[in-house]
Structure 1
Amino acid sequence: MSTALERAFRAAHEDLPREAPGSEETTALLLQLVGALPDAPRIVDIGSGTGPATLPLAAATGGQVVAVDAHGPYLERLNGRAAISGLGDRVRTVVAAMDDLPLADGSADLVWSEGAAYIMGFDAALASWRRLLAPGGALVLTEAEWTTTDPSPGARAFWDPGYPGMRTTAGNVEAAQRAGYLVQAVYLLPDADWDAYYRPLAHRIAQLREEGVDPAALAEVGREIEVRAEFGTEYGYTGYVLRPR
């Protein structure tokens, strides 16, 4: 990524309410699909960003949430949001890479990750994060997937360079089962969850364009919105509720 593109990307994403498709409604639904959890469960939210899932999870479960992200400024804003919402005593933030988590084995009743597992890959995430789960624990993550077995060249041109291992839901279900998980639930995120991510991003890109930020770099940042508009029926994000067998 060029310096100009990196600056534009950071500027466009810095103040977004979320960094991937999703919604509080989807977070609540996936949590409901998990089923029974201990009272005041121990939760780890990996790739938490500014906390679009962290805070609803803390509020809904009464548990303690460890929010992990590699980008410290996101966690600073999460801490501020947690304090304002009265959840500051139930959220702890940790700056760390998702493939090198400074957390003890068996320390979580629920491991959560929305829109972030693709950074290390679905299989690697399933293998790496399993050690965090206490007996009876659950892993919930959302994953970018093909919704067709024959994606068009235009869709592949966007996704293949960054995520060449992207699969269909059937492929990821099979991979989760091979990794020793029971697939308890699968849920394709609705278009509204993409709008919740892209509308603020498009608005921020327009602001930056008026402020004189490199238009070519901003066009590249916004390219994913155009790709979604043209090829959105060919891919999506799918939520998984998994339990180790």
Structure 2
Amino acid sequence: MTTPLERAFHAAHEDLPREAPGSEETTALLLALVGELPERPRIVDIGCGTGPATLPLAAATGGEVVAVDRHEAYLRRLKARAATSGLGGRVRPIAAPMDALPLPGGETDLVWSEGAAYIMGFDAALAYWRGLLAPGGTIVLTEAEWTTDDPAPGARGFWDEAYPGMRTTAGNVVAAQRAGFTVQAVYLLPDSDWDAYYRPLAARIEVLRAAGVDPDALAEVGREIEVRRAHGDDYGYTAYVLRPR
């Protein structure tokens, strides 16, 4: 049985263009940083949401994208968007947890995950997803990180609850290297990528509030927007392009 907060969260996010900070421009930049891929690469987009990265990846690479998310409403919307854009034949939605993927190991050319690795934790995600990669494969992910060694109490309080294992870029670079990866690129997402996520989310919260959705639950859903507004200099999302050594 879902809680009022869970219902409010999903109601707020289901109609959004994306479920985490990012943009098509950032997706394109990261794909360019990956470098050469096979002619029809096999791609897995983990925590795909409604497909803000899935569809650009399918369009840009000519490959098949297996799009994985636990929330089936997101996948239904992704399927509809893929059909409308003419990419339905190259997008395969799968409802599954990211730590128990019904996929064969050693066959994926590109593992992609924007704004979702924190659910497993950076180290666990790298350890598990590495097993999906074909020889020469690459992992691209974005990760919530501290951009200061001394974050404000308001930022620390929010993120200690949301993601207790959050580290700095330096900490994650070391962790990736210790896990056997070459760090091919690191990129801090710009503020505009946060705006692309938060502006539609704030507007959607207001629509739900007017519709009578639990105001306390909606306030909690919107709490991250207020924390970002007050303490955005203390943290960000950083993208990594990683290749196994």
Provide the TM-score with structure 2 as the length reference.
Answer: 0.98
Q: Quote the residue 1:15 is aligned against.
A: 15
CA distance in 1, matches of 2:190, 2:170: 18
Q: Quote the residue 2:76 is aligned against.
A: 76
Instruction: Give the secondary-structure state (helix, strand or coil) at the position aligned to 1:39.
Output: coil
The amino acid across from 2:27 in the alignment is T
Q: Quote the residue 2:54 is aligned against.
A: 54
Gaps of at least 5 residues in structure 1 are none
Q: Which moved more, 1:46-55 or 1:207-216?
A: 207-216
CA distance in 2, matches of 1:69, 1:211: 28
CA distance in 2, matches of 1:224, 1:49: 18
Q: Deviations over 1:89-141 (max 9, x none)?
A: 11111110000001101121000000000000000000000011000010000
Q: Quote the residue 2:209 is aligned against.
A: 209
Q: Deviations over 1:154-210 (max 9, x none)?
A: 101100012111000000000000000000000000000000000000000011111
Instruction: Give the secondary-structure state (helix, strand or coil) at the position aligned to 2:167.
Output: coil
Q: Quote the residue 2:29 is aligned against.
A: 29
The amino acid across from 2:132 in the alignment is L
CA distance in 1, matches of 2:142, 2:33: 13
Instruction: Give the secondary-structure state (helix, strand or coil) at the position aligned to 1:93.
Output: strand
Runs of 4+ in 1 over 3 A off after TM superposition: none
Q: 1:2 deviation in Å?
A: 7.9
Instruction: Give the secondary-structure state (helix, strand or coil) at the position aligned to 1:161.
Output: helix
2:144 maps to 1:172: no
Gaps of at least 5 residues in structure 2 are none
Q: Quote the residue 2:148 is aligned against.
A: 148
The amino acid across from 1:83 in the alignment is A
The amino acid across from 2:41 in the alignment is P
Q: Percent identity?
A: 79
Q: Quote the residue 2:93 is aligned against.
A: 93
CA distance in 1, matches of 2:58, 2:223: 34
Provide the TM-score with structure 1 as the length reference.
Answer: 0.98
RMSD: 1.1
Number of paired residues? 245
